[in-house]
Amino acid sequence: MRKPSLVPYETIVRATSGEPEALDGKRRGKLRRQEIEIYYSFVGKVELPD
């Protein structure tokens, strides 16, 4: 059985990313968080809970 792709690229209108934030206190450390916003053609931007 073939696995369907999670989100076809045709449905994504725009994707933006914010500045990386260091979680370990180091500027270029291994632990970083970065906010990513994805806008879909059929629902717009989806907000996910933390």
Predicted TM-score (pTM) of the model is 0.56
Strand partners, 32: 22
Q: What are phi and psi of 11, to 5 degrees?
A: -85, -10
pLDDT of residue 24: 80
Buried b / exposed e across 6-31, counting CB within 10 Å, b at 16+? eeeeeeeeeeeeeeeeeeeeeeeeee
Handedness of CA 34, 8, 43, 49 (dihedral sign): negative
pLDDT of residue 2: 59
- Kindly give the confidence (pLDDT) of every residue in the chain, 50 residues in length, as a single tens digit, with 9 standing for 90 and above: 555 665 677 788 888 999 988 888 776 767 888 888 888 888 888 877 77
pLDDT of residue 32: 85
Angle formed at CA 50 by CA 6 and CA 11, multiple of 5 degrees: 25
pLDDT of residue 34: 87
